[in-house]
């Protein structure tokens, strides 16, 4: 009986000690991403990019923030930045089909532009 | 006594783990939003030194049903008028085939294009392009077009055209519009209705004879100030119909050109490519 109880207590203590700042950061990053989505839907892409950039600074492992940031850059014609953001998102979550689909569509445009520059 | 207590503890642990997982799942929710985007694409060419554009003419060949030179010039001029910031010069369409032949026969052109599309008259030999080279009188395929390519490298000729029209950007090139017949198996969706009247679509392979057209244009952009080629690009588009379908060559030509015009315009002016992406939360 003692075994599981100790593990449980240790787990709870660890969560209690570590989670406040970690959870706050996650919550902040998520709020930034949500705000970004909201303003992007209203056509305010620069503000959206600012929010998504902020989200990636707060939580550098936040996959959705990189995906959204890549879309924002794409919409602004900053194709190099968009590619890097997509690659980061896929590096963090290689099996995400939605990011992969976004990236494939982006590559079509990017390849066309690259051909022009040859 | 120990047994039930252990069971209760493990249930409690499982419950906590499930709750934690649910919390994580909610936190990492898979919410997504489709959003339309417009990606701006920069033009391939820097056309800022030019205020005007001259679509002079094309070396054209293939089917006799369409005057590909005339139709291409008219179509590109009309597109440039509405979709570019350059002023389109409304000059007579030049028969570049005759210009090339004249140059290859040892003639030259000091006069530039003349009214009615007649080839410029020879006055000296400074801009001859490989005199003495026989050019095919009837252009039926790409091989026949090859010898005409020399015309576009004749910078003296293009520079003089540029001088005549106050140094515009010159658009020229080659257009091959040929008929095509083919036969073989194609997959088609066949609509059937069962005894209850329910519609079903079944992919069926069938042997078909088809005919259509191939359009192979090459657009060449020449700097009217120097006569040098700035940029060129080639395309190939094809359309095939059921052999029984009688589609006029001219309408096929426009259908194929419709596919290429955005690419042509993107050389001169910035374009926006519309698409949809998925935002994640």
Dump pLDDT digits (tens) for B2-32: 444 454 555 445 444 444 444 444 444 558 9
Looking at the complex, does the CB of residue B13 fall below 8 Å from at least one CB of chain A? yes
Give the nearest chain A residue to B12 (CA atoms): A8
Q: First and final CA of chain A: distance in angstroms?
A: 71
Decide the pairing of beta strands B87-88 and B52-62.
parallel
Please report the pLDDT score of residue B185 as a whole number. 83
Inter-chain CB proximity A8 and B37 less than 8 Å: no
Question: B102 CA to chain A: closest CA distance, Å?
Answer: 34
Q: Does the ipTM exceed 0.85?
A: no
Q: Token match 């998520």: residue? A: A30
Distances (CA, A) of B66 to B62, B71, B72, B141: 9, 8, 10, 15
Question: Any residues with CB less than 8 A from the CB of A57 and at least 6 apart, and which?
Answer: none
Inter-chain CB proximity A71 and B37 less than 8 Å: yes
The rounded distance, in Å, linking the Cα atoms of B19 and B165 is 78
Please report the pLDDT score of residue B21 as a whole number. 41
Question: B79 CA to chain A: closest CA distance, Å?
Answer: 21
Per-residue pLDDT for B186 more than 60? yes
Report which of residues A9 and B166 the model is more confident about: B166
Inter-chain CB proximity B39 and A105 less than 8 Å: no
Query: What's the gap between Cα B56 and its chain centre?
Result: 19
Q: What is the pLDDT of residues B107-143, one digit of tens each?
A: 554 444 444 444 444 334 444 455 556 788 888 888 9
Q: What is the pLDDT of residues B242-277, one digit of tens each?
A: 888 888 999 999 999 999 998 899 888 888 888 999
Looking at the complex, does the CB of residue A26 fall below 8 Å from at least one CB of chain B? yes
């Amino acid at each position: 009986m003692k075994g599981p109880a100790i593990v449980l207590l240790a787990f709870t203590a660890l969560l209690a000690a570590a989670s406040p700042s970690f959870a706050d950061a996650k919550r902040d990053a998520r709020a930034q991403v949500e705000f970004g989505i909201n303003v992007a839907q209203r056509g305010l892409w620069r503000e959206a990019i600012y929010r998504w950039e902020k989200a990636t600074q707060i939580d550098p492992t936040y996959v959705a923030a990189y995906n959204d940031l890549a879309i924002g850059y794409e919409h602004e014609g900053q194709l190099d930045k968009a590619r890097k953001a997509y690659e980061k998102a896929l590096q963090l979550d290689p099996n995400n089909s939605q990011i992969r689909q976004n990236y494939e569509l982006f590559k079509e445009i990017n390849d066309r532009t690259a051909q022009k520059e040859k | 006594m120990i047994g039930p207590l252990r069971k209760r503890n493990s249930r409690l642990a499982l419950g906590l783990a499930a709750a934690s997982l649910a919390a994580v799942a909610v936190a990492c929710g898979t919410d997504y939003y489709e959003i339309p985007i417009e990606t701006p694409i920069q033009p391939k060419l820097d056309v800022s030194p030019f205020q005007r554009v001259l679509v002079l003419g094309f070396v054209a060949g293939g089917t006799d049903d369409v005057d590909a030179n005339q139709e291409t010039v008219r179509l590109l001029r009309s597109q440039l008028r509405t979709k570019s910031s350059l002023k389109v010069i409304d000059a007579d369409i030049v028969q570049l085939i005759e210009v090339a032949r004249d140059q290859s026969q040892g003639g030259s052109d000091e006069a530039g294009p003349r009214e009615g599309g007649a080839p410029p008259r020879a006055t000296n030999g400074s801009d001859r392009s490989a005199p003495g080279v026989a050019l095919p009188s009837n252009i039926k395929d790409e091989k026949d077009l090859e010898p005409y390519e020399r015309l576009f490298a004749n910078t003296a000729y293009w520079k003089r055209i540029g001088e005549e029209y106050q140094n515009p950007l010159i658009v020229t090139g080659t257009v091959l519009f040929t008929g095509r017949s083919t036969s073989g198996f194609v997959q088609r969706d066949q609509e059937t209705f069962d005894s209850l009247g329910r519609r079903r679509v079944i992919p069926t392979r069938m042997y078909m004879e088809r005919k259509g057209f191939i359009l192979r244009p090459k657009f060449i952009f020449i700097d009217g100030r120097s006569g040098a080629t700035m940029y060129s690009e080639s395309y190939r588009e094809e359309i095939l119909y059921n052999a029984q379908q009688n589609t006029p060559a001219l309408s096929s030509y426009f259908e194929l050109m419709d596919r290429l015009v955005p690419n042509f315009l993107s050389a001169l002016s910035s374009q926006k490519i519309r698409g949809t992406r998925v935002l994640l939360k």
